[in-house]
Structure 1
Amino acid sequence: MAKNQPKQQTHTKTTTTTTTTTTTTTAAPHIQVFGPAPASVDAAPFESTDTVLGEFEVPGIADAIIAEDEPATYSSKEIIKDKVKPDPSTLVEIENSLLSLFNMKRPPKIDRSKIIIPEAMKNLYAQIMGHEIDSVNIPKPGLLTKSANTVRSFTHKDSKIDDRFPHHHRFRLHFDVKSIPAEEKLKAAELQLQRSALSVSQAVNRTRYQVLVYDITRVGVRGHREPSYLLLDTKTVRLNSTETVSLDVQPAVDRWLATPQKNFGLLVEVRTMRSLKPAPHHHVRLRRSADEAHEEWQHKQPLLFTYTDDGRHKSRSIRDVGAREGGGGGNGGGRNRRHQRRSRRKNHEETCRRHSLYVDFQDVGWSDWIVAPPGYDAYYCHGKCPFPLADHLNSTNHAVVQTLVNNINPGKVPKACCVPTQLEGISMLYLNDQRTVVLKNYQDMTVVGCGCR
């Protein structure tokens, strides 16, 4: 089979800037739920670390300081010396709540020291962490990932069938994608191939070559029928480059998800542009060399990346309501009078504002499968919504009316409540039971602003 050409069928951030709800210079009280916050949650968690997960280090957690965005002056920080841990029953409730939020039945049971985190996944996580996560979308240039909120990486599964492809320039790759939930919709899929540097003499003689990838749609039967292939993508690359080769294989993955029993894998072929001769040996890494250590090969092996959407998009009404309605309504003079009266209130009457709340995954016992982050700042809203509502309390017209009625007749309606008015998502890099590396964006996980509603 290696001597014949394949029969082709045509196939035409987390941000640290905070919306606050008071102008007082007194620091908001810190409430430490799971443990102290990291020294810098936004720090890149992959700097100066080995790519082997067993030696992988995420940012350490400072034992004393919780970095909280302060009130309007941003002038003070509070040191908390005692680490308060919740009791076991509370931890169970917390774990169950988080599992439901993450759409899991139980935490994965894995030995993460034997799993490699792909460099491409680390880079994508770092890219997301460098921007505000105001939606679930995961950016990926060149791919249709507009609404994808989950990325998974898969490694090649060895099989006896691979022995039928003895040449390094033409090889079968098989990826088990059954761990992708049926309810998720595939938005994109790419095959990434690593390249090794060539000697100067090799690079001069053959300057460019082609990498072709086929979907094996039917296996062959020796002496009876030839296998069938469907060309998916092709790339022309230079021999003097070591950049990763990315190939679009979404049609194949779509077919595998629809009919798992017909997943026969991909056929990758590497050949020169001048002729049908193979390209230099071992430039494109399709299989492990005989003298290559297993750990070294794990960093160079082919990888399949899938981009999916789980459909769990929440309403953006909380974010939009502040932009639509802004303050409490009324004229500017009324707002100023309310602000002046608010300034004359007693100091102990703390109005609605954002407070510190840090979720530490280690305290929940999840640090063995959550790679990054080690935890996150969730924050929460608490405080009074007194009459009259001040302009800085980010109130809706409805909240203004409700507060007015409550002031006239407290028994008729309750006061307006201090609630989140702006939320952001977080990005998580973790491992599942199938030893698959998953990068997922979760929407509305951290409070940015509070107001009376």
Structure 2
Amino acid sequence: MVCAQAITQSEGMPKCCMFSLSPKIMPNSILKALLWIYLRPVEEPTTVFIQISHLKSLSEGNNHSRIRAQKIDVNARTNSWQHIDMKQLLQLWLKQPESNFGIEIKAFDANGNDLAVTSAESGEEGLQPFLEVKISDTGKRSRRDTGLDCDEHSTESRCCRYPLTVDFEEFGWDWIIAPKRYKANYCSGECVQKYPHSHIVNKANPRGSAGPCCTPTKMSPINMLYFNDREQIIYGKIPSMVVDLCGCS
């Protein structure tokens, strides 16, 4: 998963939004692309019309075409994040980079007020639109260090890496936007004592040493998109979330 935050545009252009896209994103590798928009609270329940317009030219600020329109019901005094599918437009941008002049975001309530937060005004820092993109892993993986991989059908008793998928929704962690689940893996199995000294120490003083344990020897991070306690969207790299290699230590 990759994430791009909205960039403020130049004077004379709509406030939002341009996105700086990662070179890792290729048109055919996009599995999902969502535009996240934060709506300001309203005094009474209302229907909001979210309009996303594609800007066609930098020299003509009014030259744009509507590409998405969505109607939602909003409760009174409730802040909310909404998302809109942007996969087709993102693929167009990547295939035709010259067509990427950004988008204009509007979210009108029944009284004509625009509720969309599109810039970092005072008190609204961290609430700008985000583009969440999930891509397929089509690149070649680097060769793994030595280590055993097993599954639930394996009869291997030695220290081994087993697959494990963590589902955040099962935990009730709705503050995590993406990924909703990921492959964490875990280590399990027996470790043979490598040195005679370890065996002798255990014989002489069983409580002094538990011997080698099957444990992660290599781990990697994951990228995560989540809400903090101020309802701001945070995108960051969380370290040591995936077990890549198991060994005895």
Alpha-carbon distance, 1:239 to partner: 5.1
Q: Is the 8 A contact 2:222 2:242 kept in 1?
A: no
Q: Is the 8 A contact 1:153 1:438 kept in 2?
A: no
| 1:154 and 2:4 are equivalent in the alignment | yes
- 1:28-74, Cα deviation, whole Å (9 max, x unpaired): xxxxxxxxxxxxxxxxxxxxxxxxxxxxxxxxxxxxxxxxxxxxxxx
Alpha-carbon distance, 1:260 to partner: 2.4
Change (3 A) 1:212 1:160: same
Change (3 A) 1:250 1:181: closer
Stretches of structure 2 lacking an aligned partner (at least 5 in a row) = 161-184, 194-213, 225-234
Q: Is the 8 A contact 1:154 1:303 kept in 2?
A: yes
Whole-angstrom distance in 1 between the partners of 2:35 and 2:242: 28
| 1:197 and 2:47 are equivalent in the alignment | no
Q: Which residue of 2 aligns with 1:383?
A: 192
Alpha-carbon distance, 1:246 to partner: 1.0
SS at 2:117's partner residue?
coil
Change (3 A) 1:183 1:298: same
Choose between structure 1 and 2: higher strand proportion. 2
State the AA in 1 paired with 2:13: R
State the AA in 2 paired with 1:214: S
Q: Which residue of 1 aligns with 2:246?
A: 447
Whole-angstrom distance in 1 between the partners of 2:49 and 2:70: 7
Change (3 A) 1:441 1:190: farther
Whole-angstrom distance in 2 between the partners of 1:234 and 1:272: 12
Choose between structure 1 and 2: higher helix proportion. 1
Alpha-carbon distance, 1:182 to partner: 4.4
Q: Which residue of 1 aligns with 2:112?
A: 278
Change (3 A) 1:443 1:278: same
Q: Is the 8 A contact 2:186 2:243 kept in 1?
A: no
Q: Which residue of 1 aligns with 2:73?
A: 237
Q: Is the 8 A contact 2:2 2:223 kept in 1?
A: no
Q: Aligned residues, how many?
A: 187
Stretches of structure 1 lacking an aligned partner (at least 5 in a row) = 1-150, 166-170, 328-350, 355-375, 385-419, 431-435
Q: Is the 8 A contact 2:33 2:85 kept in 1?
A: yes
TM-score (norm 2): 0.56
Q: Is the 8 A contact 1:153 1:304 kept in 2?
A: yes
Change (3 A) 1:156 1:182: same
Q: Which structure has the greater CA radius of gyration? A: 1
Q: Is the 8 A contact 1:214 1:268 kept in 2?
A: yes
State the AA in 2 paired with 1:158: T
Alpha-carbon distance, 1:428 to partner: 2.4
Greater relative CO, 1 or 2 (CA 8 Å, sep 6+): 1
